[in-house]
Structure 1
Amino acid sequence: MIYKNISASLIVLLLIFSCTSKPEHNTASSETTNEDIIITGNIDNLDVAKFGDKVSFGYHDYMAGDYRELKASIDTLTGDFITNISSIAPVQIYFYHNNGLEIIVSPGDSIHFKMDGSIIDKTAFVNTLEISGDAVQTNKNLIAFHQEFKPDYARNELEIKRGNPENYKKYLDSLYIERNKKIQDFASNNELSNTFKNWLTVEEKYAKNAALLQYPPLYNMFTRQFLDVTPDYFNDAMKVPSFTKEDLANSTLARNYIQYYYYQLRTELQSKLSQEDLREPKKRDSVFYTSINTIAKDNKLMAQLITLTALQGELNNNTIKGYEDNITQIENLFADSDFSAPLNAKYLKVKNLLENPILPEDSKLLSFQTENPEEYLKEIISNANGKVIYIDNWATWCGPCKQEFKQSTPQLKEKFQQDVEFIYLCHQSNEKLWKPSIAEFKVTGKHYFLSQEESNPIFREINLQGFPTYTIINKKGEIVKSGFEYRPSRAITSEILTELIAE
C-alpha cells in the first residue's frame, strides 16, 4: 500500500482526465505499476467542522494479512482528495466521510468519485454520487446489488442464539436457495461487468458455506457460551472448492471463507491428536502441512491462502518459530507466487522487532511496589493523584487489542493526555512478546506485565471476561465503566472521559 498525502488540485485534475472510461481490467498506464490503484474524489458542500478533513478507507490486504485503514487528506479549498493502494487482485474497499460506500477496484484502476458532503441519508447519498474512470460499471452493479440484497442481521442473530446447529443449517438452506435464485434473476436483468460476474459467482459458491463455518464463533460471541457442534455439520462447507484468483474479486467474502475454513481445519486436525501431541508444536505443524499438501494437489491457491492465514496470524502475534521450523515446506508451497516476497519481508520485519524492540520515549515499563496483587488497583488509583484513569487490559495475541493500538489509541491520548492517566495491563501473554508489541505500535503510557496469578484479582474486580477490556475509574477511585464497548475508537468513550474530567 502506498499513501500519498497530496492535496494539489492539479494532480487530481490530471487524474480525472486520464480516467476517461476504458475497458475494465485494461493494463495500467505508464505512470502506475500494474498493482497501483488510484482513488480520487471531490466533495461538494464540505463541512469540516462536522465531518473533519479526512476520507477514511478500509480494506483487507492479502499481502499483509491484515485489515488496512488509511486516511486521505481533503483539500479544504477545493474538496479534492487522492490516495494510492496496492493490490495483486481486485479488492473491496470501504470509504467513509459524511457517508460510506463499498467499492470494488482492480490493480491498475484509476477511479474518481464526486459526492455531496452534506448528505446523511444513505439512499440520497448513493443516488447523488457520481463515478468516473475505471470500474464504473462494476461499482454501479455493486451499489444495485446492495440496494436489492439487504441482510437480515437480526433474524440471523436470533437463529444463531437458538443454539441448534441442525435447525440453523435448515434455515441457511432455505435462505440461500431463495437468495441464489434472486442472484440469478439479478444477473439476467442487469448488464454486468466481468469483474462483477466473478464477484457474484463467489457469492453463490461461498456465502452459505462461510455462514456455516462462522456459526460456532458467532454463537460464542452472541451468548458468551461455547457450543459443541459435531464434525458432520461442517461436511459441505469443508469440501475444497475450485478457488481461483478471480474469486478474490469478492475479497471480503473470500477472506471470511478462507479464514473460517482454516479455523475449522485446525480444529479437526487437532481433535485427532493426543493431549501429548497437542503440546508438541512440531507434531501439530506436521499434520497441518500434510493436510495442506493434500489440498495443494487439487487447488494450490486454496492451499496457499489457508497457509497464509495461519502464518500471518503467527507473524501478527510476533511469533516466528512456526515460520522458521517449516521454512522448507513454506518455500516449496509459495515458490514463484505473488505471496512469497511479502511473506518473507514480514518475517524479517518481525524478527528484527523481536531482536531490537525500540520503545517510544513516553513508554514506561513498570512493576508494582506492593507484593499483593489484591492491592494492584489501589496502587494504580493512588499513583494517579486524583486523575481520571483509563485502563487498557490487553494480550499480545489479541488482534482487536492491537487494532485499537494502531488506529484509535493515539487519538484518544492526544485528546486527554493532560487529564487522564493511561494504564496498560498485559495479561495471559508471553513476556518475551510484551516489549516488542509495545514497540511495534509505539504505545506510550504506563505498562505493567502480569502473570496469571497476578491477573486473577484484576479479573474479579473489573469482571474481565475477554480482551480487550477497558476500565474507566473516576477521580474518587471508583470503577465507573468496564467492558469491550469502551474502546478508544468509540465516541461514547470520549464522552464519558469528558464528563468525568469535568466533575
Structure 2
Amino acid sequence: MLKSLSTLALILYAFSSFAQPQLKIDSVTVTGQYDHYDHQTGDQFNVTVYDWAGSHQKKYSAPIDPSGKFTIKFPFPVAGDIYLDWGRIYEANVAFPGETIRLYADLAEYKGTKAPVSTRFEGANANVHTDYMRYYYDVMRTAGDSLYSLRNRLSSGLEYRDSAVTVLQRKLRKLDDYARKQNLDKRSVQIIQAYLRFSTAGAMTQFIYKLTGSSSEISPAYLSSIDSIHMMAQSAEFFPGDYMMALRDKKNYAYTLANKAKTKEIDSVWYSLLKNDFEKELAYTWTTNQHLAASNSLGNNELQAFEDKVKDPYLRSEINARNNELLKLAQNDALLKNTRLITTIPELATAEELMAHIASQFKGKVVYMDIWGTWCAPCRDQMQYSPALKQRLKGKDVVFVYLANNSPETAWKTAIKQLMITGDNVVHYNLPKAQQSMIEKKYLYRGFPTYILIDKEGKFITNQAPRPSDPDAVEKAVAGLL
C-alpha cells in the first residue's frame, strides 16, 4: 500500500504543471496507396477521430481509386489519436493539426495475425507515426489490459485506484525499456506516455459505473486521483479520445449525484466535477451539440448564451457551422419534394387499429417501417445505410414508412432533409403524442430504433425486422413478402 500511495504522491505533483488543450481551426490530410488492392465499386478509405465539439467518434470517408490510391482531408484541432481505415487495416495511430500523413501499406500483410512489415509513413512526423505503429503492434496489441480485468475482481474504489496506478507505473517502465532498445523518438515517447496515462484515467472513470451499482461510495480522493493523472498527461499536449471519454463518464456519474440530491440540474452537477474553465467550456459545447444533433437549430438568444459561456474559437466555429447547416436545411423545402409528411390520422381506440389504418394506406406494397426519433443517435446512425437500401429495392413494391417519437415539427422536417430519408416511396408520420405512445407500447422492440414489416395485404409480420445496416437480410425478408 505504501508503495502505491507514494507513487500516487508523485502523480499528484501534476496539479502544478497543467497544459490545457489549445484547439486550432485546422485539418489533417491522409494520402497514400495500397498494394495488393482488389478494387470494389464504392470502396472508401475511412478515418475515425474524436469529435471535440460532440464528444463521440466521427468517421470521414473518401474513395479509393482502382489503383489503390486515396486522399482524405478532415478537421483536426489538436494532437490526438486517429484510426486509419478501421475494418480494413485497423491501424491505430496519432495525428497533428496541419500535417499531411503519407501512408503506404500492403493489404496482403493485414490478412493474418502478424504485424505488417512493409507499412511505412512519410511526411514531417513520419518517425512518430512509425514509432507509434511499432509500439502498438509490439506491446499494446499483445499485452492485454489488466486494468479492465482488475475491475472484475475489485470492489473498493481506492483499492482499484492504487492497483491502476501500479499498473500504469509498470507500463511506463516497460515503455522506457522499449524506447531504449528501439531508439524511439523523444516526442514519440512523450505521446505514448500521455496515451498510457489517459487510458488509465479512462479505466478509472469506467470503474465508477461499478461503484455506483454497489454500496461503495466514490470518495473525493478517487476523483482527485483521476484529475491528477489527467493533469500529468496533459503536459505532453497530446489529447486522445480517452480524455474526452473520461469527461463524458463524469457526466454519467453526475446523473447518480443528481438523483441522490433529487435535482434535475444534471449539467450543473457535472460542471462542478470539472476542474478548469476549458473543460467547462467543452462540457457546455457538448450539451449544445446534443441539441443540434437532434436537428434542433439555435435561436439568436440561444446562440448568444452559448457564446457568452464558450470563448474557444474552434468550439465556437464548429457550433456556428453546425447551426448554420440546420438553418439552411430548414429553409429548403424543395428537399422534401415527393415525400409525404403526415401529422394526423383518425382517433382510434387501440394500437392495432392505428397500425391497421396506417397499413391500409399502402395495400399492394410491402411496408418497411422504422420507429425512430430525431434525438435518437442509433436511429440516425442506421439511416446512413438507408439510401443504399432504397436503391437495392428500387422498382419493387416496397414503401418506407417512418414513425417519429417526440420530435418537434421543425426538427423533424430538418432531420428528414439532413438524413436524406426522402423519395416518392417514403412516407413520414409525426403523430400526436398519445397515438405514437399507444403504438410504441404495443410494437416497440427493445427500444429505438424498431423495424417492422407489414405484408402487401396489410398484415403485421414482425417488429424484429433486419436493420438497414444489414441490407442483404432486409432484401431477403422483403423478397419473401413480395
1:411 is aligned to 2:388: yes
Residue 455 of structure 1 corresponds to 436
Match among 111, 115, 132 for residue 121 of structure 1? 111
CA drift of 1:416 comes to 1.9
Work out whether residues 389 and 422 of structure 1, in 8 Å CA contact, stay in contact via their aligned partners in 2: yes
Residue 291 of structure 2 corresponds to 314
After TM superposition, the score normalised by the length of structure 2 is 0.76
1:75 is aligned to 2:55: no
Match among 82, 95, 99 for residue 105 of structure 1? 95
**Mean Cα deviation higher: 360-369 or 316-325:** 316-325
Residue 18 of structure 2 corresponds to none
1:479 is aligned to 2:472: no
What SS is found at the alignment partner of 1:424?
A: strand
Question: Aligned pair in 2 of structure 1 residues 240, 499: CA closer, same or farther (>3 Å)?
Answer: same
Residue 378 of structure 2 corresponds to 400
- CA offsets 1:404-423 (integer angstroms, 9 cap, x no match): 33x32222222223333211
CA drift of 1:365 comes to 0.8
Residue 15 of structure 2 corresponds to none
- CA offsets 1:70-98 (integer angstroms, 9 cap, x no match): 3222221x321111123221233323264
Work out whether residues 55 and 245 of structure 2, in 8 Å CA contact, stay in contact via their aligned partners in 1: no
What SS is found at the alignment partner of 1:434?
A: helix
Work out whether residues 132 and 192 of structure 2, in 8 Å CA contact, stay in contact via their aligned partners in 1: no
Work out whether residues 34 and 108 of structure 1, in 8 Å CA contact, stay in contact via their aligned partners in 2: no
Residue 469 of structure 1 corresponds to 450
Residue 427 of structure 2 corresponds to 446
Work out whether residues 428 and 451 of structure 1, in 8 Å CA contact, stay in contact via their aligned partners in 2: no
Match among 225, 229, 249 for residue 260 of structure 1? 249
What SS is found at the alignment partner of 1:423?
A: strand
Work out whether residues 34 and 105 of structure 2, in 8 Å CA contact, stay in contact via their aligned partners in 1: yes
How far, CA to CA, are the matches of 1:141 and 1:263 in structure 2? Answer: 35
Residue 412 of structure 2 corresponds to 434
How far, CA to CA, are the matches of 2:321 and 2:215 in structure 1? Answer: 39
After TM superposition, the score normalised by the length of structure 1 is 0.73
Match among 203, 206, 216 for residue 211 of structure 1? 203
CA drift of 1:317 comes to 2.3
Provide the aligned length of Structure 1 versus Structure 2. 442
CA drift of 1:44 comes to 1.8
Work out whether residues 64 and 342 of structure 1, in 8 Å CA contact, stay in contact via their aligned partners in 2: no
**Where does 1:157-236 land on structure 2 (aligned, <5 Å)?**
166=155, 174=163, 177-178=166-167, 180-190=169-179, 191-193=183-185, 195-214=187-206, 227=213, 232=218, 236=222
Question: Aligned pair in 2 of structure 1 residues 500, 354: CA closer, same or farther (>3 Å)?
Answer: closer
- CA offsets 1:8-33 (integer angstroms, 9 cap, x no match): xxxxxxxxxxxxxxxxxxxxxxxxx9
**Percent pairwise identity:** 20
How far, CA to CA, are the matches of 2:43 and 2:334 in structure 1? Answer: 32
Match among 308, 315, 318 for residue 342 of structure 1? 318
Aligned residue type for 2:337:
E
CA drift of 1:39 comes to 0.9
What SS is found at the alignment partner of 2:448?
A: coil
- Can you give the 5+ residue segments of structure 2 that lack an aligned partner in the other structure? 1-23
How far, CA to CA, are the matches of 2:283 and 2:238 in structure 1? Answer: 17
Aligned residue type for 1:471:
I
- CA offsets 1:370-403 (integer angstroms, 9 cap, x no match): 4324323333444443444322221121122223
**Where does 1:328-407 land on structure 2 (aligned, <5 Å)?**
330-335=306-311, 337-351=313-327, 353=329, 359-367=335-343, 369-372=345-348, 373-405=351-383, 407=384
Higher relative contact order (CA 8 A, sep 6+): 2
What SS is found at the alignment partner of 2:314?
A: coil
Residue 17 of structure 1 corresponds to none
CA drift of 1:321 comes to 6.2
Work out whether residues 388 and 497 of structure 1, in 8 Å CA contact, stay in contact via their aligned partners in 2: no
Work out whether residues 37 and 106 of structure 1, in 8 Å CA contact, stay in contact via their aligned partners in 2: yes
Question: Aligned pair in 2 of structure 1 residues 204, 39: CA closer, same or farther (>3 Å)?
Answer: closer
Work out whether residues 60 and 252 of structure 1, in 8 Å CA contact, stay in contact via their aligned partners in 2: yes
Residue 149 of structure 1 corresponds to 140
